[in-house]
């Protein structure tokens, strides 16, 4: 089978939620920071991976139920969909009122905040180019330990 690198999905990163990190590094007044500070980061580079083998798996500690998924795509006008356990997740709506249209077109990053259930979770990211001739997907099985 010939290796077929990703063309639309440049990079997909899964890491601990920024709010979890912020709460641990700057705890609420009167509370102590967590002694168990385990943050995760998984980076999947599209050019180094093959579309023929597009399913990945990893396990997380119980505290890691909130994750942020950031995808860098090659085409800013491409359609993307994130599905977590059969639920479609909406992209984060960043406050970009002061950003010009040119700057918006150069930013190909799509960010999603997700919450996983304890146990086995299925995450799928799909991307189609604007002409709908190419489509790519990355699939993840994530086991959140009890």
Provide the phi-psi class of 139: left if phi over 0, else alpha when psi is between -120 and 50, else beta: beta
Helix (H) or strand (E) holding 105: helix 101-106
Q: What is the pTM of this model?
A: 0.78
The structure tokens listed for 48 are 């180094």
- pLDDT by residue (tens digit) across 93-111? 654 444 444 444 456 789 9
- pLDDT by residue (tens digit) across 48-90? 888 888 889 999 887 778 899 999 998 888 899 999 999 999 8
Domain at 9-144, CATH from 2.60.40.10, 3.30.1330.50, 3.60.21.10, 1.10.1670.10: 2.60.40.10
Residue ranges of the domains in the chain?
9-144
């Amino acid at each position: 089978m010939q290796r077929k690198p990703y063309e639309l999905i440049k990079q997909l990163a899964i890491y601990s939620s920024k709010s979890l990190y912020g709460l641990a590094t700057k705890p609420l007044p009167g509370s102590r920071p967590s002694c168990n500070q385990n943050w995760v980061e998984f980076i999947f580079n599209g050019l180094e991976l093959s579309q023929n083998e597009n399913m990945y798996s990893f396990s997380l500690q119980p505290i890691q139920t909130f994750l942020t998924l950031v995808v860098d795509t090659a085409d800013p006008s491409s359609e993307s969909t994130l599905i977590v356990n059969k639920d479609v997740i909406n992209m984060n709506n960043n406050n970009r009122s002061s950003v010009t249209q040119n700057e918006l077109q150069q930013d190909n990053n799509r960010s999603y905040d997700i919450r996983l259930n304890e146990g086995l979770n299925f995450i799928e990211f799909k991307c189609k180019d604007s002409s709908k001739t190419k489509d790519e997907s990355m699939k993840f099985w994530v086991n959140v330990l009890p």
